[in-house]
Amino acid sequence: MSEGQAMKTWISAMVRDLGPRRPGTPGEARAAERVEEALRESCDEVRIEPVASRDGAFFGLVRIMLGGYAAGFVLTFVLPGVALGLVVVLGLCFLLNGRGHRVLEPLFPRTRSQNVIGIVRPSAEPRRRLLFAGHHDSPILMPLWRPERKRYLPHLYAAALAGFVGQILFSLVAALGLSSLWSVPLGMIAFAGLVLTAIVTWGVIGWGTPCSGANDNLSSVSVVAALGRYLASSRPRHTEVWLVSFGCEEEGCFGSRDLAGRYAPELEDAFLVNMETVGSGRLAIIRRERRGGRNSHPGAVALVEAAARHAQLEVPVVELAFGGTDAQSFIEEDLPAVSVFGMDETGLFSLWHVEEDRPENLDPEVLDQALALCRAVVEVTEEGEGRS
pTM of the model: 0.94
Cα distance between residue 81 and residue 98, in whole Å: 26
Measure the N-to-C terminal CA separation of the chain; round to a whole number of Å.
Answer: 38
**Segment 5-33, tens digit of pLDDT:** 999 999 999 999 999 999 999 999 999 99
Among 29, 69, 77, which residue's Cα sits nearest to residue 51? 29
pLDDT for residue 48: 98
Question: In the predicted model, what is the mean pLDDT of the chain?
Answer: 94
What pLDDT, in 10s, does the model give residues 83-120? 999 999 999 998 888 778 888 999 999 999 999 999 99
d(CA 257, CA 262): 8
In the chain, alpha helices (H): 3-18, 26-40, 57-75, 80-98, 147-150, 153-176, 180-205, 219-233, 254-262, 298-310, 327-332, 364-387
pLDDT at residue 13, as a whole number: 97
Q: What is the pLDDT of residue 387?
A: 45
- Domain borders along the chain are 3-53+110-141+210-387, 60-103+148-205
Q: How far apart are CA 92 and CA 345, in angstroms?
A: 34
* Burial of 223 from C-beta contacts in 10 A (0-12 / 13-18 / 19+): buried
Write down the pLDDT at residue 385. Answer: 58
Give the per-residue pLDDT at 177. Answer: 86
pLDDT score recorded for residue 187: 94
Whole-angstrom distance, CA of residue 119 vs CA of residue 115: 13
Rounded to the nearest 10 degrees, how much is the dihedral formed by the CA atoms of 307, 258, 281, 147? -150
CA distance to 66, 194, 362, per residue, from 69 (Å): 5, 7, 40
The stretches in the chain having pLDDT less than 50 are 386-388
Task: Report how far residue 253's alpha carbon sits from residue 255's, in angstroms, rounded to the nearest whole number.
Answer: 6
For residue 120, the cross-strand partners are: 241
Instruction: Give Dmax over CA atoms of the chain in angstroms.
Output: 75
Fold of the 3-53+110-141+210-387 domain: Aminopeptidase (3.40.630)
The per-residue pLDDT for range 318-343, each reduced to its tens digit, is: 999 999 999 999 999 999 999 999 99
